[in-house]
Amino acid sequence: MTAKKDKYAYRVLWSEEDQEYVGLCSEFGSLSWLESTQEKALKGIRKLVSECVSDLNKNGEEVPSPITVRDYSGKFMVRVPPEIHRQLAVQAAESGVSLNRIASAKLAR
C-alpha cells in the first residue's frame, strides 16, 4: 500500500492514561500507536496499517476496504422505546413531514 492509495480513516487522540497521543485507524480497530506528538502518532499508525495490509495480502487474507469509499444504502434500523417513537410520530405529524425526516434531522445534529 502506498501513501497515495491509503484512504483509511485515521484519528489521533490524547491518551490521559498513557500520557501520550494515540494513533488509531477505524478499519483496523485492534491497532494503535502511542507517541509523544500527534504527528508521530499519525505516522506510526499509518506505518503499522501499511505493514498489516502487506501481511494480509501476503497471506491471501481479506484486506478491509476504507470506510470512506464504501457504498452505503442510507438505511439502517434503530430501536427506540415506544414513548420516543410516539413523540417522534407526533412531531412529524405536527411538522407535516415524515417520521424518517424527523429522525434524520435529529441524527444530523
At 3 the pLDDT is: 44
DSSP 46-109: HHHHHHHHHHHHHTTPPPPPPGGGS---S-------HHHHHHHHHHHHHHTS-HHHHHHHHHH-
Give the chain's domains with CATH numbers.
Answer: 3-68 (3.30.160), 72-108 (no CATH)
Give the model confidence (pLDDT) of 19-75 as tens digits: 999 999 999 999 999 999 999 999 999 999 999 999 999 999 999 999 999 999 999
At 109 the pLDDT is: 87
Give the model confidence (pLDDT) of 70-104 as tens digits: 999 999 999 999 999 999 999 999 999 999 999 99
- HSE toward the beta carbon, residue 89, CA cutoff 13 A: 7
Cα distance between residue 6 and residue 46, in whole Å: 8
**Which residues touch 43 (CB under 8 Å, ≥6 apart)?**
23, 35
Q: What is the dihedral of CA 7, 8, 12, 18, to 10 degrees?
A: -140
pLDDT band at 2 (very low <50, low <70, confident <90, very high): very low
At 29 the pLDDT is: 95
Cα distance between residue 45 and residue 78, in whole Å: 33
